[in-house]
Structure 1
Amino acid sequence: MASVIAQRGLARRWWRSGRVGRTAALGMLFVALGLLVALPTAFVALQAIFPQLNHGSFAHPLAAIRSTLTQSDTWPLLGNTLRFGVAVALASIALGVPLGALRGLTRLPAARLWDLLFLAPFLIPPYLAALGWMLLLQPHGYLQQLAGFDLGGYLFSFAGIALTMTLSVFPVVYFAVSRALMSTGGRLAQVARVCGATPWRAFVRITLPLAAPAIAASTLLAFTMAIEEFGIPSALGARAGFSLLVTSIEARFSDWPIDLSGAAVLSALLALTALAAFIAQRRLLAGRDFDTQTGKPVASDPFELGRWRWPVLLLFGAAAFCTTIAPLGAIVATSFVRTLSGGLSVSNLTLAHFAAIASMGEGAGALFTSLGLAAATAVLTGTMGFLAAWIIIKTRTPGRAALDGLTLLPHAMPGIVIGVGLILAWNLPFWPITPYNTWAILLLSYSCLLLPYPVRYASAALRQIGGSLEAAARVHGATEARVLWRIVLPLVAPPLAASMMIVFAVASRELVTSLLLSPSGVQTASVFIWQQFEQGSIGDGMAMGTLMLVISGAVLALASFWTRRLVLLCHINARAIYSRTGRVPSLHEP
């Protein structure tokens, strides 16, 4: 009894001694997140309410809202955005649900290969995929050179833009449905078949309801991704005469006369639309799922395809060709041809575009700038994400709920809204020091957009860690900082490292905030690709795109390999320690 009381007293003293450190860490995180997230979001709202805010005046409140909402093109822009998002979401269901159901319920040949091919759209930036489709389908493109006809009329239309966007986002539905059905399996549907149900009735009444939450949540995510995307509507929409909120916001910043207040109002409108879809998705995931009350789960064998084997393989092959092989082939081919008009012939092949980038000129500078910013973003978001997740999950510090909301907010904010907010927040005369018009503004924008990745990955890992190791460290007299460094961080390291590599891959190719915020003399790889395409130097731009795809693929492959190795190493070390000592080792031991 005395030892229990002593341990409780030690735990209380340990908790009090770490309270100052936790409070200080929480305060620093609030300051950092205030600069990264709250400040740009607040200035979007303030600029929309006070149109003269950029001149230091609060005159004529709400005037910009009234004038923007009464303009003839505002509501058509919102209608186009909603129509585009709904079309992409429905098309993603039509393509992703059948493919996901076949992947989850049947013994699909080369299943991992199809997963890899459908994962590639997350590796190819949407704007780069759009440029690849333009090179392939436009008049005098590769399709016309090979087959004698082009599909430019279809590509540069609402249906073509929606289909191009669908091919980039439908994998979220495919993976959600396939994993949901793989976890539930077809056992309950087989029971229904034994009880006399037809295959279609068993699928509709049993299998489909079990996958319904995953379908609904992933569909809303596809809708959100569609209305937030800038690259595809900007690359294809201009020729189709089709504008969305996101392209109109960028135009109000880049075209004279610059309309800051109008851009802020449209940004707020887009943010509210995306936030509504995000909240709906969260609620669907939180409380409207189906549970099976069958005790211990029993694995069931996947269905055999039988005579449907080749039709299913043809369906997956066609989807993989349109999703990955066709746009990726056009991008890579263009990076190796001397001129587009010369076609795909041996005499027209060249390495000159890669040589131009490697010659330490403009392209090399853009590449190194992107890689440096991506590395800095990964380190910054990884550090902040780990500390934020630890405070949210492992402590009872007051204010952690607000901290959780701040870390989640960028996930619901379109990238262009973050860019607009950073411009409005930091391009003001009263700041003594401002990151605006420096590379630091790009670091702020990337960190704001990508912070949710490390936070969510670290949070998921921390939830799996029990309190016994930390309790043992307290008994041995370790401080809270030492516990965090020697126990918690090594256990969270595999998923945290993977999330940081994902941040690196995404930040290195980010487009919309780079276009808005890149200062004079600082160019990123994505801006270089975009400008080369607009200026007609398509080969140089596609060579840069090919390099970025190779780098991103290598980083993500390394993340997957490293995560598996670290997890295996942790298990081996834990088994070795327990087999030798039968107890948790002291932190003071070497």
Structure 2
Amino acid sequence: MKKSSVRTFPWRGGSLALGILAILVLLPLLLIFWTSISPGGRLDIGAPLKTIVNNRGLLEVLLNSLGLGVSVIALTTIFALPLAWIMAKTSIGRHRWLDVVLLIPFMTPPYIGSMGWMLFMQSGGYMEQLLPASAAVTPYFFSYWGMVLIMSLHLFPFLYLLLRNSLLQIGGSLEEAAAVHGASFAYKSRKVILPLLLSSYGLGALLIFVKTIAEFGTPATFGRKIGFYVLTSEIHRYIASWPIDFGKATSLASVLLGVCLVMWYIQTLISSRYSYRLVGGKGMRSKSKTSGGLAGLASWGYLVFLLIASIGVPYFSIITASLLKLRGEGLSWGNLTLNHYWELLSPGSPGMHALINSLGLAVAASCIAVILGTWFGLTIGKASSWRQKLTDLFSLLPNTVPGIVLVVGLILFWNARWMPIPLYNTYGMVVLTYVVLFLPYTVQYVKSSYGQLDPALMQAGQVFGGSRIYVFRRILLPLILPGMAAGWMMTFTISNRELVASLLILPPSMQTSATYIFAQFEQGAVPLGMAMAVVSVGITTALLLAIEYLNPDRKRRQR
């Protein structure tokens, strides 16, 4: 009797998928490294560090980036740790809508939030118009610590979610056991809660550090205004401004890439060695306190303060600036108008062209990314072979390395003299860059959906005579479609507001909504730029709500 040939649904082309990812992601990064260690055709492994150490200005830029990362970790911790405790250990946490609201700062493009704060705190800005006495302190905002504040208000939701989830997993029985043995609140916090939080906090702090030193939007807007330069802003300057110096740009990019990879490696060590089993077979219950009295008032006050600082101030400034007729006349009902929106969205206007360009590029990139990402995600499967593990690793690289580093690598690779495809400085180059930067989203969504499927479903289709195409079309595709749709929408949303890649890759005379906002703000046409920001954020919000609506987990929770 012959053995059954039915097995897990097969995916061929694994070597081809690995090769395409190597061309799209790995080779550009290796080209950066090679360019930086072979100045003038001479091989010198230490060349990137020598370039920085021997140049006092570049060394200062490196130290600025590292110091900024440490400072943002400190202030983000001050914001996130009390908030996580409030949302996990008090009855305020029952208001689940707060978690959605608290994600708004993290989903807001950093350059837009930075512009909002600058408009609010500048001389004659909205702060001084609302509170004239604040004119004595607003100039101090435009400093290093003002930049730290802006970046911390953008990133604290990320650390907050990690800490809150860890606190929820620390069952009330652990605290009760300490209390039974006479432990005070301070002792319980020091001996029980903080050690269990250390792993999550370490991971979150390292990720905050990487995101800070890789950030471009805030350094390009606020940092340039106060004369504080970091690695990302200097890499952009050496590539985008004359005289172009790819040598220094690749040296800075290599060092930035190296720092980020070291941080990711440390994160892996922490994740594997310093984790605790907090969920067991007995179940758990989290002990929460009522939010009444002075403690409840203080908790709500702290929460409102964070919401005002992270959402209220920047969005008030952005929306107000987009509605003012004349900036010099200040805040008054008679000085409000919608004319900037009409000018922005009128047919044939530069703003409308920029918006259409953004939408067109985002649609093209999303469609290509969802096709490639689905193929890669299905090829990876459960990552059991070395080829699948390498494909998984390469597909995650764009989320691991700073965006500006990958963009520099793509410029070097596709603009090389030996490159037979004349893609650089074309519409296609922009689409390719977006695809490479945001491909991991579709891969992860599809991989997650596919990993939850029982192979017996595909085997059943084959048993009843279905071809591979039929099984894919009628069984597998409908089941992974929500993941594909979520990946498409996420890629579209982020591509539509991407700044650093657009600034470096766009052909001459072509603008997107992000570069339009940046240019208008720099040129003093603030109302038009802020009107575009409102439209862009509105599109992003609508699509994120659509993603949440299509989320199968949400539908299951409602049943």
- Is 1:306 the counterpart of 2:292? The answer is yes
SS across alignment from 1:9? coil
Letter in 1 for 2:547: A
- Is 1:343 the counterpart of 2:330? The answer is yes
Give, in angstroms, the shift of residue 339 of structure 1.
Answer: 1.9
- Is 1:141 the counterpart of 2:154? The answer is no
1:505 aligned partner: 493
Give, in angstroms, the shift of residue 268 of structure 1.
Answer: 0.5
Deviations 1:251-298 (A, max 9, x none): 111222211111001001011111111222233233421114752213
1:465 aligned partner: 453
Give, in angstroms, the shift of residue 193 of structure 1.
Answer: 1.7
- Is 1:221 the counterpart of 2:216? The answer is no
Alignment equivalent of 1:174, drawn from 124, 144, 160: 160
Deviations 1:203-244 (A, max 9, x none): 332223333222211111111110011111121122322111
- Is 1:45 the counterpart of 2:33? The answer is yes
Letter in 2 for 1:275: L
Letter in 1 for 2:233: T
2:509 aligned partner: 521
- Is 1:119 the counterpart of 2:100? The answer is no
Give, in angstroms, the shift of residue 181 of structure 1.
Answer: 1.8
So what's the TM-score if we normalise by structure 2?
0.93
- Which is worse superposed, 421-430 or 170-179? 421-430
Tell me, in whole angstroms, the C-alpha distance in 2 between the residues paired with 1:161 and 1:409.
28
2:245 aligned partner: 259
Tell me, in whole angstroms, the C-alpha distance in 2 between the residues paired with 1:127 and 1:426.
28
Counterpart contact for 2:110–2:154, Cα < 8 Å? yes
SS across alignment from 1:378? helix
User: Structure 2 matches for 1:446-457, cutoff 5 A?
Assistant: 446-457=434-445
1:316 aligned partner: 303
1:232 aligned partner: 218
SS across alignment from 1:302? coil
Give, in angstroms, the shift of residue 320 of structure 1.
Answer: 0.7
User: Structure 2 matches for 1:3-14, cutoff 5 A?
Assistant: 6=2, 8-11=3-6
User: Structure 2 matches for 1:391-540, cutoff 5 A?
Assistant: 391-394=379-382, 399-540=387-528
- Which is worse superposed, 123-132 or 190-199? 190-199
Counterpart contact for 1:11–1:474, Cα < 8 Å? yes
Give, in angstroms, the shift of residue 525 of structure 1.
Answer: 0.5
SS across alignment from 2:517? helix
Alignment length (residue pairs): 554
Letter in 2 for 1:176: L
Alignment equivalent of 1:30, drawn from 3, 6, 18: 18
Counterpart contact for 1:165–1:226, Cα < 8 Å? yes
SS across alignment from 1:520? coil
1:575 aligned partner: none
Tell me, in whole angstroms, the C-alpha distance in 2 between the residues paired with 1:232 and 1:446.
20
Give, in angstroms, the shift of residue 59 of structure 1.
Answer: 5.7
Tell me, in whole angstroms, the C-alpha distance in 1 between the residues paired with 2:279 and 2:404.
45
Counterpart contact for 2:366–2:491, Cα < 8 Å? yes
Q: CA RMSD in A?
A: 2.3
Tell me, in whole angstroms, the C-alpha distance in 2 between the residues paired with 1:461 and 1:303.
37
Counterpart contact for 2:168–2:286, Cα < 8 Å? no
- Is 1:326 the counterpart of 2:313? The answer is yes
Give, in angstroms, the shift of residue 316 of structure 1.
Answer: 0.2
Give, in angstroms, the shift of residue 439 of structure 1.
Answer: 1.6
Letter in 2 for 1:377: A
Counterpart contact for 1:210–1:290, Cα < 8 Å? yes
Deviations 1:148-170 (A, max 9, x none): 13454333211110111000011
User: Structure 2 matches for 1:561-580, cutoff 5 A?
Assistant: 561-564=549-552, 567-568=555-556
1:579 aligned partner: none
Counterpart contact for 1:50–1:63, Cα < 8 Å? no
Tell me, in whole angstroms, the C-alpha distance in 2 between the residues paired with 1:518 and 1:456.
28
Tell me, in whole angstroms, the C-alpha distance in 2 between the residues paired with 1:112 and 1:293.
22
Tell me, in whole angstroms, the C-alpha distance in 2 between the residues paired with 1:109 and 1:49.
52
Q: 1:476 to 1:195 in 2, by over 3 A?
A: farther
Tell me, in whole angstroms, the C-alpha distance in 1 between the residues paired with 2:15 and 2:400.
24
Give, in angstroms, the shift of residue 448 of structure 1.
Answer: 1.6
Tell me, in whole angstroms, the C-alpha distance in 2 between the residues paired with 1:468 and 1:566.
26
Give, in angstroms, the shift of residue 62 of structure 1.
Answer: 6.5
So what's the TM-score if we normalise by structure 1?
0.89
Counterpart contact for 1:105–1:186, Cα < 8 Å? no
Tell me, in whole angstroms, the C-alpha distance in 2 between the residues paired with 1:223 and 1:250.
20
Alignment equivalent of 1:358, drawn from 342, 345, 351: 345
Give, in angstroms, the shift of residue 568 of structure 1.
Answer: 4.5
Counterpart contact for 1:64–1:262, Cα < 8 Å? no
Counterpart contact for 1:253–1:263, Cα < 8 Å? yes
Counterpart contact for 1:494–1:566, Cα < 8 Å? no
Tell me, in whole angstroms, the C-alpha distance in 2 between the residues paired with 1:286 and 1:410.
23
Tell me, in whole angstroms, the C-alpha distance in 1 between the residues paired with 2:169 and 2:52.
49
Q: 1:211 to 1:489 in 2, by over 3 A?
A: farther
SS across alignment from 1:503? helix
SS across alignment from 1:222? helix
Q: 1:565 to 1:403 in 2, by over 3 A?
A: closer
Query: For structure 2, which runs of at least 5 residues remain unmatched after alignment?
Result: none
1:274 aligned partner: 260
Q: 1:524 to 1:564 in 2, by over 3 A?
A: same
Give, in angstroms, the shift of residue 49 of structure 1.
Answer: 2.5
Give, in angstroms, the shift of residue 77 of structure 1.
Answer: 1.4
Letter in 1 for 2:462: R
Tell me, in whole angstroms, the C-alpha distance in 2 between the residues paired with 1:258 and 1:370.
27
Letter in 1 for 2:249: A
Letter in 1 for 2:429: I
Counterpart contact for 2:31–2:412, Cα < 8 Å? yes
Alignment equivalent of 2:178, drawn from 183, 188, 192: 192
Give, in angstroms, the shift of residue 498 of structure 1.
Answer: 2.1
- Which is worse superposed, 339-348 or 542-551? 339-348
Tell me, in whole angstroms, the C-alpha distance in 2 between the residues paired with 1:51 and 1:362.
41
